[in-house]
Structure 1
Amino acid sequence: MRRPLAGLALLALVVTGCGGGAREQAAGGPVEITIWHGQEDASAKSIEKLVTRFNQSHPDIKVSTESGGATADGMLPKITAALTSDSFPDIAYLYGSWAPNIARNPKTADLTEFVKDPKIGWQDFWGSEREAVTVGGKVIGFPAVVDNMVVLYNKKLFAKAGVEAPKPDWTWDDFRAMAKRVTDPGAGVFGTTWPISGGEEAVWGLWPMVWQAGGDILTADHKKAAFNSPAGQQALGRLRDMAVTDKSVYLDSSPAEKGQKLFESERLGMFMSGPWVLPDLQAAGIEYGVAQLPGTNGNHETISGPDNWVVFEHDERRVKAAATFLAWLTAAERQLEWMSDTGSLPIRESITKLPGYKDYVAKYQGIEVISTNLVNAKRVRPPTTRYPRVSAFVAEAIAEALLGKTDAKTALDQAAAKSDAALAVPGS
């Protein structure tokens, strides 16, 4: 499974307009479309299987699959280059965080009217997915994958420290107390970990804490930073106390990030992550449990990083064919099969009511908790092309605070000042 935020820095790329005519197709023959899926291993096998089945049942459309010469992580620069000629595909798998960039290209199709068809069941997709695939009121594709952040905990380390499993109503104070009790410096065991290498992973975990306390990342018009509010200060201040005072946080300065490896080697009591790590944990034989994020005043809001199948326009017939294929691919029955093959979460709420859903849940330990947690994924990161700059400033602030170099308020105020300057640049 993918890491949800890999390649986020590529958001800084500006997708430019392009020329080039549509590929000629035989009159009266099937409409031929190409999809760049960028999938690997089990995911690649599953998508190829489903495309073959579609082609067999839809003789008027022929879907060809390619990798686009890139994995999902590297798809944006490949698409950016392809859009400068006529070599771009009809459909591409792109991270949702790239949507503000890709939507600016005139070759990106507008499916807004198409998804209004009741047969699509657009409202059946989770709200965070619909938000991620819609930019400025324009629907640029279909949801492809959804995830969310949870807390994985090591049952063996919890038992050794005499710590009970997290309860549904647990809080961030509980999280801090558990981390402190599990920490064993002599054994090289920490309560939890936090990245400080400057990447989005550091920031991704902070946002739910801010949202839960009533704060936000940016103002509603995306022109000013809002993360340095009291909610943000409280969130970062708690993490700073855990790192500096309790010393229960392993500060991960490695660009490659050691969190998952540390958890698999039983040196972390808790690890904030998502469904993509479950197959690895099962393969490693770790005795783990899964819990929703701690809450603030009963609010357990989490964060999601949905990915999209984005449609590009060669001509009207091909756009319609691409949308028809994606409507078929994202139907509940097909998605349950994809989920069972890959361990992905349900992109539609109705999938959880299908008879085969119980078999899927039984196959991946802890997946039901993460699936149920989708109701707590209520929003996504701001759809602005300047978000990577903001993220980098906040990641720097987090590192400064957790290393004890400054207090939470000062760190966030400095990041906000830098963010405001970046957001003031025209075209953001």
Structure 2
Amino acid sequence: MRRALTATTAAAAVLTLAASGCSASGQQAQGPVEITVWHGQEDNSAKAIEKLVTRFNETHKDVRVRVESGGATADGMLPKITAALTSDAYPDIAYLYGSWAPNVARNPKVADLSEYVKTPEAGWSDFWANEREAVTVQGKVIGFPAVVDNMVVLYNKKLLAKAGVEPPKPDWTWADFRAKAKQATNAADGVFGTTWPISGGEEAVWGLWPMLWQAGGDILAPDQKKAVFNSPAGQQSLELLRAMAVDDKSVYLDSSPAEKGQKLFESGRLGFFLSGPWVLSDLQSAKVDYGVAQLPGTNGNHETVSGPDNWVVFKHDERRVKAATTFLSWLTSAEQELEWMTATGSLPIRESITKLPGYQDYLKKYPGIEVISANLANAKRVRPATTKYPRVSSFVADAIAQTLLGKSDAKAALDEAAAKSDAALAVPGS
């Protein structure tokens, strides 16, 4: 999820409500409520959100939406919003990565939509469970789901055929993944079975969590005060990656912050690539003959990881908060979302979208996305909703790098990362 990881491939929008409210006599101001959205989108995504906002304004008389980039891309939206919240120059709605929710939710200027989402207009139960979880912090609903993704395995059909490797089957396991990656590797030609980032970012950790969850482990204890990723499940998961990298030498260890994995895959030098829907348009442009499979499983469990993003609502006054919910209910409705998905290649954020007539046309436009869309059913959990998560992630990323480079064994590396995480989790506040 370049969007979800560095994320990972993400969208951002801001609705700014013009100052409106009550007159000195206590009467409600006349005219439409004006709100502003900071979207942080680029290229097709920016054009798509602007087109939808134009239509909303043409069909709704009581709310006027102004959309702008917010002066930042999606990756830079958190510091932009943090600075804006120190004054009155903040939007009514902003597109923010789901992993930022714990940081944002603490600000008193963030609205709580807990009561609103109980209304029929919100259609809350229609959103996937992991999306609802990502936008809820300690019982406070801070906005609406915006984008959802998940991790799958992309494979190069021509490369596998040349190496005599059978494509993955739906019930494949991590042992199968290891065997196929080893068989696809050709050191003389600079071809690797797969790749793993070791540059120290969330990209390295992103792929380990599904393996951990499938094996029955978790990242943190339920109270989020102690790391538990160094359990036997975690050790088993990292040990498999170590065996592939050190023993089989089937893993290209990517130490570049720019991440070379996708380029290697596009150039035919990588058999398998763990990624998500955000790369499909690039692969089509590069004319890669690719296939898509769900992640390998453990005992039939093919749980994946997802990085939902959110439209976060900020408080100016009650009229503007209500206007923001009116707009977001419309924007995230099945019909509007299908149009957004078709333009951008993102996944359905509501289950009902998959039942619309136009959904089949969307699937045809992005070959392989039907597998990724169906894989949303395997996205059952999100990363811990705590402000301490980035530090925990960095400790685990370092443990992964040390292990895959052969400088440590899985248990020792994870135990050290857990000890550092426990120390960070014990510090009060942020």
**Normalised-by-shorter TM-score class:** over 0.9
Instruction: Within 5 Å, give how 1:89-108 maps onto structure 2.
Output: 89-108=91-110
> 1:168-183 alignment to 2 at 5 Å?
168-183=170-185
Q: Give the stretch that moved more between structures: 21-30 or 188-197.
A: 21-30
In 2, Cα distance between the equivalents of 1:82 and 1:22? 15
Is 1:117–2:119 an aligned residue pair?
A: yes
Cα distance, 1:427 vs structure 2: 1.7
Identity %: 80
Matched AA of 2:125: Q
Corresponding residue to 1:23 among 6, 19, 30: 19
Q: What do residues 317-352 of structure 1 show as CA deviations (whole Å, max 9, x unaligned)?
A: 000000010000000011000000000000001100
Counterpart Cα distance in 1 of 2:130 and 2:262: 26
Quick one: structure 1 residues 272 and 310, their matched pair in 2 at CA, closer, same or farther if it must change by over 3 Å? same
In structure 1, how many angstroms separate the alpha carbons of the residues matched to 2:417 and 2:122? 42
Match of 1:385 among 384, 387, 392: 387
From 144, 147, 152, give the equivalent of 2:146.
144
Aligned Cα root-mean-square deviation (Å): 1.3
Query: In structure 2, how many angstroms separate the alpha carbons of the residues matched to 1:301 and 1:349?
Result: 18
| Distance in 2 separating the partners of 1:22 and 1:51 | 16
Q: Tell me the equivalent position of 2:192.
A: 190
Q: Aligned partners of 2:18, 2:331: CA distance in 1, in Å?
A: 24
1:401/1:411 contact within 8 Å kept: yes
Q: Which residue of 2 aligns with 1:280?
A: 282
Offset, 1:155: 0.2
Of the three residues 129, 132, 135, the one matched with 2:134 is 132
Aligned position for 1:252: 254
Cα deviation digits, residues 202-240 of structure 1 (max 9, x gap): 000000000000000000000000100000000000000
Task: Give 1:261's aligned residue.
Answer: 263
CA distance in 1, matches of 2:61, 2:2: 33
What is the DSSP-based 3-state SS (H/G/I as helix, E as strand, rest coil) of the residue aligned with 1:308?
strand
* 2:6 match: 6
Task: Indicate the residue corresponding to 1:338 in structure 2.
Answer: 340
| Deviation for aligned residue 1:7 | 6.2
How far apart, in 1, do the equivalents of 2:354 and 2:165 lie?
32
Contact 1:148/1:377 (8 A) holds in 2? yes
**Contact kept? 1:22, 1:314, Cα under 8 Å:** no
* 8 Å Cα contact 1:94/1:310 also seen in 2: yes
In structure 1, C-alpha distance between the alignment counterparts of 2:19 and 2:412, rounded to whole Å? 56
Residues 7 and 74, structure 1, Cα contact 8 Å, conserved in 2: no
Distance in 1 between residues matched to 2:3 and 2:141, nearest whole Å: 24
Q: Deviations over 1:374-398 (max 9, x none)?
A: 0000010000000000000000000
Worse-superposed segment, 25-34 or 339-348: 25-34
Task: Name the CA distance, whole Å, in 2 between partners of 1:75 and 1:184.
Answer: 42
Q: Displacement of 1:121 after TM fit?
A: 1.3
Matched residue of 1:344: which SS?
A: coil
Supply the distance in 2 between the matched residues of 1:367 and 1:406 (Cα, whole angstroms). Answer: 38
Aligned to 2:13: none
Match of 2:241 in 1: 239
CA contact (8 A) 2:20 2:33 kept: no
Counterparts of 2:18 and 2:414 in 1: how far apart (Å)? 49
Alpha-carbon distance, 1:6 to partner: 1.6
For residues 18 and 163 of structure 2, the distance between their equivalents in structure 1, rounded to whole angstroms, comes to 64
In the alignment, which residue of structure 1 is the partner of 2:316? 314
Q: Does 1:85 align with 2:81?
A: no
Q: Which amino acid in 1 is paired with 2:112?
A: D
User: Counterpart of 2:11?
Assistant: none
Does residue 329 of structure 2 align to residue 327 of structure 1? yes
Write the distance in 1 (CA, Å) between the matches of 2:252 and 2:276. Answer: 19
Post-superposition shift, 1:161? 1.1
Secondary structure of the corresponding residue to residue 94 of structure 1: strand
Encode CA deviations 1:64-119: one digit per residue, 9 max, x unaligned. 00111001110000000000000000000000000000000000000010010023
CA contact (8 A) 1:194 1:250 kept: yes
Check the 8 A contact 2:38/2:93 in 1, yes or no. yes
Q: TM-score, normalised on structure 2? A: 0.95
> Residue 33 of structure 1 aligns to a residue in which SS?
strand
Against the structure 1 CA distance between its residues 299 and 231, is the aligned structure 2 distance closer, same or farther, given a 3 Å change threshold?
A: same
Query: Which amino acid in the other structure matches residue 241 of structure 1?
Result: A
2:373 corresponds to 1:371: yes
Q: Deviations over 1:161-182 (max 9, x none)?
A: 1111100000000000000000
1:51 paired residue number: 53
1:399 aligns with 2:420: no
- The separation in 2 between residues aligned to 1:23 and 1:99, in whole angstroms, is 26
Contact 2:18 2:33 in 1 (8 A): no
| Cα 1:317/1:2, change in 2 over 3 Å | farther
Structure-1 separation of matches of 2:114 and 2:42:
30
Gaps of 5+ in 1: 9-20
Per-residue CA deviation, residues 250-290 of structure 1 (Å, 9 max, x unaligned), is 00001111010110011100000000000000000000000
SS in 1 for 2:196: strand
In 2: Cα distance, 1:142 partner to 1:320 partner: 13
SS at match of 1:118: coil
Q: CA deviation at 1:5?
A: 1.7
Equivalent in the alignment of 1:354:
356
How many correspondences in the alignment?
A: 416
> 21-30 vs 69-78, which deviates more?
21-30
- Counterpart AA for 2:144: F
The CA distance in 2 between the partners of 1:239 and 1:347, in whole Å, is 32
